[in-house]
Amino acid sequence: MEKEEKMMSGEESLRIITEMINKTKVNIRQGSFQLLFWGWLILVCSMSEFLLYKFTDFTHPYYVWFFVVPGVIVSMVYGFTSGRKARVRTYGDMLYMWTWMGFLIASIVLFIVHSKSMETVAPYILLLAGFPTFVSGFVIKFRPLIIGGITFWILALIIHFAGPSIAPLGVPVAMLTGYLIPGYMLKYKVDHDKI
């Protein structure tokens, strides 16, 4: 693109426009970090709560969820610093980020509204979490994440209708299908495609 004033044909103009627009992709490297970070954090918290409830006399097993608070800080600091380092910020990046911020805000509201019956909050959280996961899958054009979002909704129904012996395992399973499996697949894609 050196001969600046060279005459271009209409087809050439169209090719340049298409080529350049197709080059602007969402930063999916950050996406894989967030999926793996949250997938493992929630998996460990939910399994710990389940094991404490099942095998110990600990009266407040839900205390393990307080680890989510530093998790939010770590996640936001990572997002902010990598966003600052990014050489390009697409509208897709903004949609991706604000969809997850919306989920965070909705989750805080849900926890406040539901604070007196936390034992039944899991299907509602999965219901909410399915939405940004599903949308993010479309934003980055990554089918495992779209399917992951759908599994959140299926598991929300299963938790709601299943007995108390199965329901606590719904969240760890959701973390595997919705965050960890798509997260590792995305990481593999980033590492191998050099995106």
Partner 1 sequence: MTRFKELDPLLHSQLRLAIVSLLISTETAEFTYILEQTGATAGNLSIQITKLKEAGYIEVTKKFMNNYPQTLCKITPLGQKKFVAYVKDLNDYLNPDKPDK
Binds partner 1 by CB under 8 A, chosen from 35, 59, 89, 191: 89
CA distance 178 to 92: 20
Q: Is 80 in the site for partner 1 (CB under 8 A)?
A: no
Subset of residues 22 to 41 that bind partner 1, contact rule: CB under 8 A: 23-24
Helix (H) or strand (E) holding 66: none
The size of the interface with partner 1 (CB under 8 A), counted in residues, is 30
Max CA distance (Å), the chain: 80
136 burial level (CB within 10 Å; 0-12, 13-18, 19+)? buried
Subset of residues 93 to 122 that bind partner 1, contact rule: CB under 8 A: 93-94
- Per-residue tokens: 190: 């980033």
- Per-residue tokens: 8: 């271009």
User: Would you give the end-to-end CA distance of the chain in angstroms?
Assistant: 24
Q: Is 16 in the site for partner 1 (CB under 8 A)?
A: yes
> Of 22, 30, 29, which Cα lies nearest the Cα of 192?
29
Q: Is 90 in the site for partner 1 (CB under 8 A)?
A: yes
Rounded to a whole number of angstroms, the minimum distance from the CB of residue 141 to partner 1 is 14
Q: Is 7 in the site for partner 1 (CB under 8 A)?
A: yes
Q: Is 166 in the site for partner 1 (CB under 8 A)?
A: no
Q: Is 77 in the site for partner 1 (CB under 8 A)?
A: no
Q: Is 91 in the site for partner 1 (CB under 8 A)?
A: yes
Rounded to a whole number of angstroms, the minimum distance from the CB of residue 16 to partner 1 is 5
Tokens 């995305």, residue located: 186
Binds partner 1 by CB under 8 A, chosen from 69, 73, 88, 112: 88
Which residues touch 162 (CB under 8 Å, ≥6 apart)? 170
Single-letter code of the amino acid located at 73? I
Rounded to a whole number of angstroms, the minimum distance from the CB of residue 187 to partner 1 is 23
Rounded to a whole number of angstroms, the minimum distance from the CB of residue 40 to partner 1 is 29
Q: Three-state SS for 26?
A: coil
Rounded to a whole number of angstroms, the minimum distance from the CB of residue 83 to partner 1 is 11
Residues that bind partner 1 (CB under 8 A): 1-8, 10-14, 16-17, 19-21, 23-24, 84-85, 87-94
